[in-house]
Amino acid sequence: MNGLVRPARGRVVAGVCAGLARRFGLPSNVVRLLFVLSCLIPGPQFLAYVALWVLVPAEGSARALR
């Protein structure tokens, strides 16, 4: 599957970073570290995370299977 989904396993909070890491072929911890570091600079990072949490389907859900 090439689409972006939040995995059922390997989640820390909502699985957004794990899903992004899987989609782009990066280690999950690298994506998590980049997210945390990005929160040190002003910007809408937290809002983007929440939006992805809401919009990206969980693995195995009906939305993910489309």
30-32-35 Cα angle (round to 5): 110
Instruction: Compare 64 and 35 and report the one with higher pLDDT.
Output: 35
Give pLDDT tens digits for 9-41. Answer: 888 889 999 999 999 999 999 999 999 999 999
Residue 51's domain comprises 1-66
Separation of alpha carbons 24 and 26, rounded Å = 6
What tokens does 29 get? 């911890």
pLDDT computed for residue 28 by the predictor: 94
pLDDT band (50, 70, 90) for residue 2: low
State percent of the chain over pLDDT 90: 71
Give the mean model confidence (pLDDT) for residues 27-56. 94
Number of separate domains in the chain: 1
- For 54, list phi and psi in degrees, rounded to 5: -75, -40
